[in-house]
């Protein structure tokens, strides 16, 4: 089961740890990391002091201690809600880390010395360069490269996928991850990471948030929030002498309430949770991001470079069409192609049978159960069937089939060479079919584009992302596949250095580039790209060079990762818009309430019809606190992403979160006022 499947938003364990974390994070040294919420905490401390010393600042009024206490309690709850939001995000990551830690037991490793002797040691004692022997049923003790042997390996502890994969020495798929299990056979592994620095260690640290650093966009937004906070603090400081000049007595706790309501506390409380949740969403999609910056960069991608084989196409050449020679009906060619392929278990053979049946072939397999199947060999370059009723059916490479037919007295059609050449020029593989030494035509095999990619590339095009396909094929074949897949461009006869040049060219134009790869030769390009996604089945060099690793080794997942990055940026932008729009309603609630006693004309601004100045201020403050936990699910799950242009996206977010951010507090504050106003009367406020 993949981790990208839906999980509970919050479990009993996460709830308990989050509540505890909400109190622990009240430590001023921790709160200083979030300047907006630190201002709220300072306000809470001042209000708490005023509970016991109500006239410390020459404030006057009846029941001032009670009023100060109510403001202090609401501010305290606001702080707890903000810390709770961050703790929930961290709790989900830590819960996932605990699952990963279960694979990191104190396992034993069978160390192989230079003289060939074996020694059982703790896996934690292994050093880079050590060679270990891992047998069936044993855990691989640390990251490494297979140097000898072949084995089936269960990677479900890391990837969440139950199907084991085959790994062997040599090539691009010799990399193994610590914590995975050898299911069959044995392998010798050379350790490639130091203790505590394995891929699994990095995953645990990342999902726990221990090594998470603020991204450039997050730092910029933090700077904006701090600037807004300073501006509002200056405004509040100037209001106090202005009020005194107008002979309006404003309690200090009211000024603190005004400050807290007008500074962007909502986004300040949720900003960290949004960042943590963004990395969590990518991880739950079975992609490990080496930093929050990598996730965020996905949201800014302008150009996506993809390999053709295995990414855009299946990599196996599958039957695409049947091309008869002159004088032969397509139906006859289709039937004999089906007969020649029923014993062929290769992807080419299976696809030929499927295509023939799709074209209407109705022959029955049971009629050929006793037929003699001729296996393909490198020497003959053909395969086929000798039926029980004496028919000889073959399919194979053009030159081999021509020689075979001539040797058995058959005639080669005049247009056969033309048909074969046409398929070859398109980058396909022609398989010639003959029955009883009579050539019927050609099976057109080609590398088939994966279903659904055309729509996905169109989705990316709508949001302004250009797709470029890299392939080693000739220009004609590359053009054919590119047109079929719907990519925006292609590089034919592409070498590793050509990928780097393509990335640099796009980056020189100020674009953010994403790329996927799995081989050692992809490592330089993965390192050069702004977003490099390496396959978990690939080499250690590729994984080290990339800033993301796809645990499922699905190259096309880069498309979804980009959308997750977009969702992160949109979520942050939407909630920032909502938070700032909230301040408009709070302004109309508090400012008229503060001054309408001495400036009656300001009552026209009391458009919500709030009952008293105290109820107006407390209602705005309560709404300011309550809205934070209400937005936690949205911050964690993210704003729903739909591919569209930047201008449409901005308009949509302004309409939903801008207008919604204005209307929601108007309604919320009014409802809260209707509830608490009678209570304040009973309390004598």
Burial (0-12, 13-18, 19+ Cβ within 10 Å), 205: middle
Q: Which residues of 613-622 are buried (b: 16+ CB within 10 A; e: fewer)?
A: bbbbbbbbbb
- How far is the C-alpha of 684 from the C-alpha of 62, rounded, in Å? 8
Minimal CA–CA distance to 519: which of 546, 558, 491? 546
Q: Residue 344, annotated ligand binder?
A: yes
The verdict on whether residue 383 carries a ligand-binding annotation is yes
Residue 143's closest CA among 133, 128, 161?
A: 128
Q: Are the C-beta atoms of 63 and 683 separated by less than 8 Å?
A: yes
Question: 144 and 109 in contact (C-beta within 8 Å)?
Answer: no
C-alpha 493/C-alpha 475 separation (Å) is 7
Question: Is 23 annotated as a binding-site member?
Answer: no
| Residue 279 annotated as binding site | no
Alpha-carbon span 356 to 336, nearest angstrom = 9
DSSP-assigned letters across all residues of 272-290: HHHHHHHHHHHHHTTEEES
Q: Give the length of the chain.
A: 685
* Bridge partner residues of 466 (DSSP): 303
- At a CB cut-off of 8 Å and minimum separation 6, what does 59 contact? 50, 249, 251, 252
Residue 380 is assigned to a ligand binding site:
yes
Q: Can you tell me whether residue 666 is helix, strand or coil?
A: helix
Is 135 labelled a binding residue? no
**CA 53 → CA 50, 300, 554, 683, distances in Å?**
5, 53, 65, 19
**CA-wise closest residue to 97 among 212, 206, 214:** 206
φ/ψ (deg, to 5) at 519: -95, 165
d(C-alpha 74, C-alpha 624), whole Å: 9
Neighbours of 228 (CB within 10 A): 19
Q: Which of 59, 130, 280, 307 is catalytic?
A: 307
Tally of CB atoms within 10 A around 609: 10
Four-point Cα dihedral 25, 26, 30, 32, nearest 10: 140
Dihedral over Cα of 429, 446, 383, 420: its sign: negative
Strand order in the sheet with 429-435: 313-324, 438-449, 429-435, 392-396, 382-386, 372-374
Known catalytic membership, residue 201: no
For 450-557, where are the E strands, in sequence order?
A: 466-470, 489-491, 513-517, 531-535, 548-550
**How many Cβ atoms from other residues are within 10 Å of residue 361's Cβ?**
17
Unique residue bearing structure tokens 């054919």:
480
Q: Does 376 carry a binding-site annotation?
A: yes
Write the CA distances from 102 to 107, 148, 179, integer angstroms.
Answer: 11, 28, 9
Contacts of 100 (CB under 8 A, 6+ apart): 157, 158, 179, 200, 203, 204, 207
Nearest one of 508, 534, 502 to 521, comparing CA atoms: 534
378 annotated as belonging to a binding site for a ligand: yes
Report d(CA 465, CA 511) in Å as an integer: 10
CA 393/CA 399 separation, integer angstroms: 17
Determine whether the annotation assigns residue 522 to a binding site: yes
Q: What is the largest CA-CA distance in the chain?
A: 118
**Spatial separation of the C-alpha atoms in residues 562 and 460, rounded to whole Å:** 9
Which strand (E) or helix (H) includes residue 30?
helix 28-31
382 is in an annotated binding site: yes
Question: Are 128 and 193 in contact, with CB atoms under 8 Å apart?
Answer: yes
List residues forming the annotated binding site for Mg(2+): 518, 522
Q: Which residues are catalytic?
A: 307
List residues forming the annotated binding site: 344, 348, 376-383, 395, 518, 522
List residues forming the annotated binding site for ATP: 344, 348, 376-383, 395
């Amino acid at each position: 089961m993949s981790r990208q499947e839906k999980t509970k938003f919050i479990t009993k364990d996460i709830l308990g740890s989050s509540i505890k974390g909400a109190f622990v994070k009240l430590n001023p040294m921790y709160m200083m990391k979030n300047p907006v919420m630190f201002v709220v905490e300072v306000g809470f401390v001042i209000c708490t002091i005023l509970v016991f010393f109500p006239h410390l600042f020459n404030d006057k009024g009846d029941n001032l201690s009670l009023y100060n206490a109510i403001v202090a309690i609401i501010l305290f709850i606001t702080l707890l809600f903000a810390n709770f939001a961050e703790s929930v995000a961290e709790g989900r990551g830590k819960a996932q880390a605990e699952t990963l830690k279960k694979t990191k037991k104190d396992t034993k490793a069978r160390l192989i010395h230079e003289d060939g002797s074996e020694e059982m040691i703790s896996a934690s004692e292994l050093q880079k360069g050590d060679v270990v022997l891992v047998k069936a049923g044993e855990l691989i003790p640390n990251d490494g490269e297979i140097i000898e042997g072949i084995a089936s390996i269960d990677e479900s502890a890391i990837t969440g996928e139950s199907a084991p994969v085959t790994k062997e020495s040599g090539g691009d798929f010799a990399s193994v991850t610590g914590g995975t299990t050898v299911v069959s056979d044995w392998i010798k592994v050379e350790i490639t990471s130091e203790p505590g620095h394995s891929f699994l260690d990095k995953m645990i640290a990342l999902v726990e948030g221990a090594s998470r650093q603020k991204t450039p966009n997050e730092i910029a937004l933090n700077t904006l929030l701090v600037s807004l906070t300073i501006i509002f603090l200056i405004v509040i400081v100037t209001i106090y002498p202005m009020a005194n000049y107008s002979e309006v007595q404003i309690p200090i706790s009211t000024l603190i309430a005004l400050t807290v309501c007008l500074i962007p506390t909502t986004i300040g409380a949720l900003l960290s949770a949004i960042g943590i949740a963004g990395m969590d969403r990518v991880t739950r999609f079975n992609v490990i991001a080496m930093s929050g910056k990598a996730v965020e960069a996905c949201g800014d991608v302008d150009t996506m470079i993809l390999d053709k084989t295995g990414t855009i196409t299946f990599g196996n050449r599958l039957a695409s069409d049947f091309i008869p020679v002159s004088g032969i009906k397509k139906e006859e060619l289709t039937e004999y192609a089906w007969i020649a392929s029923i014993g062929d278990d290769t992807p080419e053979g299976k696809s030929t049978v499927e295509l023939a049946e799709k074209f209407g072939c109705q022959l029955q397999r049971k009629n050929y159960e006793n037929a003699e199947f001729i296996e393909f060999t490198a020497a003959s370059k053909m395969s086929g069937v000798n039926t029980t009723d004496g028919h000889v059916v073959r399919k194979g490479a053009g030159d081999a089939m021509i020689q075979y037919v001539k040797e058995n007295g058959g005639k080669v059609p005049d247009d056969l060479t033309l048909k074969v050449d046409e398929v070859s020029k398109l980058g396909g593989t022609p398989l010639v079919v003959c029955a009883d030494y009579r050539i019927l035509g050609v099976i057109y095999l080609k590398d088939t584009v994966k279903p659904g990619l055309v729509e996905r590339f169109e989705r990316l095009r709508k949001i302004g992302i250009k797709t470029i396909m890299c392939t080693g094929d000739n220009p004609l074949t590359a053009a054919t596949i590119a047109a079929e897949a719907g990519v925006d461009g292609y590089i034919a006869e592409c070498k590793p250095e050509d990928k780097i040049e393509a990335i640099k060219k796009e980056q020189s134009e100020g674009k953010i580039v994403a790329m996927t790869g799995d081989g050692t030769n992809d490592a330089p390009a993965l390192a050069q790209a702004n977003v490099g996604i390496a396959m978990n089945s690939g080499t250690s060099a590729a994984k080290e060079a990339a800033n993301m690793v796809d645990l499922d080794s699905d190259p096309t997942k880069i498309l979804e990762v980009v959308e997750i990055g977009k969702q992160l940026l949109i979520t942050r932008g939407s909630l920032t818009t909502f938070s700032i729009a909230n301040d408009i309603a709070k302004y109309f609630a508090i400012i008229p309430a503060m001054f309408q006693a001495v400036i009656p004309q300001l009552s026209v601004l009391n458009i919500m019809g709030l009952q008293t100045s105290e109820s107006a201020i407390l209602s705005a403050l309560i709404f300011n606190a309550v809205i934070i936990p209400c937005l936690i699910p949205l911050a964690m799950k993210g704003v729903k992403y739909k591919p569209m242009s930047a201008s449409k996206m901005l308009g949509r977010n302004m309409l939903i979160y801008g207008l919604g951010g204005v209307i929601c507090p108007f309604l919320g504050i009014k409802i809260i006022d209707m509830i608490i106003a009678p209570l304040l009367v009973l309390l004598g406020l």
